[in-house]
Each structure stands twice: as structure tokens, then as C-alpha cells.
Amino acid sequence: MSIECISLEEQTTGAKARVLAGVGFNCFEFQVPHGGRLVDVLWAAENFERGGERPSGSGIPLLFPFPGRIAGPALKWEGHSYPLGGDDGRGNAIHGFVLDRPWRVVESGGDFVVGQFQASLDDPQLAERWPADFRITVRYQLQGTSLHSHIHIENPDQRPLPCGLGTHPYFRVPLGGADRDCVTVQLPVTRRWELVDMNPTGQREAVADAAELQAGRPFQAIQFDDVFSGLQFDDDGWSRARILDPQSGLTMQLEFDAAFRECVVYTPPHREAICIEPYTCVPNAADLQSRGIDSGLRLLGPGETFEANVVMKVSGVA
């Protein structure tokens, strides 16, 4: 059985994208024209659109209602234990429920598509695995040589909804050039969460080389699986990370708004990509919050919502 896949194209520039609605509404392909060819901005496993590949390992996995890990196999919340399922290989649940399930396409056009997932409608068994129902709506739209993501989170339940959101894009390295070792990465971070067995302890420390990371570090010198904090935001309320490829002349600028307060940075073992992942909360947020640590966990009352925006802008296109 084929998996629903939506193709987008920006008519003015010829930029293209594809979204796998049948697997997490994952935008696994974003291409911009440059030098007479299409350059891939995102990395995905070959034939990802056919299914069978790890949903968290390609494109832009969407992480909700919790991003990153929760220590152990269950969420402990207000005296109840909610079995989460999933396993990161260390006995932890990871990355929420929406990245590997089919979404409904609720609207689409030539250069945009809107998808939605609601637990009670799209997988009623989740009622036993999270404290409240939830609805997430995502709009992807191409504008010029940019890919815009607008994310709307709702609590349709009569119970409070604890939640956190993350996006997990795999950015291809190099970006149109021939040598990944020439690529430079800029990260707007100043602090790092201490991790034990990949879970935050609640302690944060200053990043000693923050100035270098902000100015740009060669990709060849980067090896991360870290949860950063203390993000820098410009006067317009956006934080910006960049990937610069001097061989192609292309720059990918990742912009995310103040709904996000943490950023995971991960370099996959294959070294063909780097993940720069905005999170609205730290992993294992509910446990940290219960210990009086400001983790960024959101608690939405009945009918309450929040929104978040992410933009990938590619410049230097010729």
C-alpha cells in the first residue's frame, strides 16, 4: 500500500519540497535551484518515502507531545503512570507519538500543505498513554527559496495537557559543494544542560567556546549529541543558526521564534548531515518540573493553545 506523499513547488523560484503525510507529516525533501540543478537542503535515507526507514532518522521528524527523552518507559504525572512505549536503547521513551503515525491532510495547494494529528481521532489508544487529548496542526509553505513551518498546538480536552514540542531537521552537509570539511556551522547558544545517560540532570553550565560556536565552527570539528540552552535571540524575536558552504556559495539559515528555548544539536554517525533541533522544553521536562527545575514544560488548560514558527532560508542561490 502506498504512503500518502504531498509534493510542493514554488512557481517563481522552482524550489520544491515533499511531505510524507503517512509517516509523521515528515517534510523529508526541500530543494532549491542553484547552478542549473536542484540542491538538497535536507538529508533523508534513500527511498524514505516508501516506508520502512527509521522515522526519526530523516527529513524533519516532528516531536510531540514530548521532544527528546523521558527517563524510563512511562510518564509519571499527578500520581498516575502512563506507559509511553518506544525505546532509545537505554530504556527511555523518546520523541513523542506523532513522528511515526499517519496524519490527515486538511488543506493543500501548489506551494503549501496543512496536516493535522489528534490523538483521540487518529489513534484512540493514546488516551491510555498521555494525561490528555491533544491536537497538532502543521503548515508547510514554500516562499521563494525558504521553507516556512507554522505549528499550532491545542488542548481539545477537559483535562490539563502537559506538553512540549520539538522539530528534528537533518540538514545535508555539504550544501551543494563537494567537500563537507569546508562547511561551517554557526550556533546561537551560550549554555548546555548536563546529561547522564542522555537525560538532563537539571544542572546547566556555560559553554566555554560559545563565542566560537556563534561565529562559526568547521563541520569537521563538530561532534555533538547535546542539549543547549541560553539561546540568543535578535531584536525581532528570532534565533538563528546557519550552515555555510563556501564551495557552492550557499547559506542555510534556520530561524525559530521565542516559543523555543532549547536547541539539541546532533551529528549522526554517517556524517552526511547535522541536526539543529529547536525544542520548547528540555527533554524529560515533566520530571525536572516536579523537582522545581524550570524545564519549559507547558501545561495547557482546556481549549488553550500555543504556536511556534520555524523558517529555513537558503541564500546565495544563482
| Whole-number Å distance between alpha carbons of 291 and 139 | 35
Give 61-71 pLDDT, tens digit per residue: 999 999 999 99
Pick the CATH number of 5-315 from 3.40.50.970, 3.40.50.620, 2.70.98.10, 3.30.390.30: 2.70.98.10
Residue 310 has pLDDT above 80, yes or no: yes
pLDDT score recorded for residue 276: 98
| Whole-number Å distance between alpha carbons of 309 and 220 | 30
- 221 contact partners, CB below 8 Å, separation of at least 6: none
| Whole-number Å distance between alpha carbons of 188 and 241 | 6
Residue 209 has pLDDT above 90, yes or no: yes
Give 215-228 pLDDT, tens digit per residue: 999 999 999 999 99
Sign of the alpha-carbon dihedral angle for 311, 317, 115, 74: negative
Share of the chain above pLDDT 90, in %: 96
pLDDT score recorded for residue 96: 97
Q: Contact 81/75 with Cβ under 8 angstroms?
A: yes
Residue 42 DSSP code? B
Share of the chain above pLDDT 70, in %: 100
pLDDT score recorded for residue 87: 81
Give 240-280 pLDDT, tens digit per residue: 999 999 999 999 999 999 999 999 999 999 999 999 999 99
Residue 140 DSSP code? E
**Domain parsing of the chain, residue ranges:** 5-315
pLDDT band at 210 (very low <50, low <70, confident <90, very high): very high
Residue 1 has pLDDT above 90, yes or no: no
Q: Contact 173/167 with Cβ under 8 angstroms?
A: no
111-116 CB contacts, 8 Å cutoff, 24+ apart: 111/8, 111/9, 111/10, 111/11, 111/141, 111/142, 111/143, 112/8, 112/139, 112/140, 112/141, 112/142, 113/6, 113/8, 113/19, 113/21, 113/139, 113/140, 114/138, 114/139, 114/140, 115/19, 115/21, 115/25
Give 141-158 pLDDT, tens digit per residue: 999 999 999 999 999 999
**How many CB atoms neighbour CB 150 within 10 A?**
16
Give 284-294 pLDDT, tens digit per residue: 999 999 999 99
pLDDT band at 86 (very low <50, low <70, confident <90, very high): confident
pLDDT score recorded for residue 85: 85
- Phi and psi dihedrals of 272, rounded to 5? -100, 5
Sign of the alpha-carbon dihedral angle for 294, 298, 301, 305: positive
| Whole-number Å distance between alpha carbons of 66 and 279 | 9
pLDDT score recorded for residue 193: 98
Give 98-130 pLDDT, tens digit per residue: 999 999 999 999 999 999 999 999 999 999 999
| Whole-number Å distance between alpha carbons of 81 and 40 | 43
| Whole-number Å distance between alpha carbons of 268 and 53 | 15
Q: Contact 60/28 with Cβ under 8 angstroms?
A: yes
Mean pLDDT of 49-69: 96
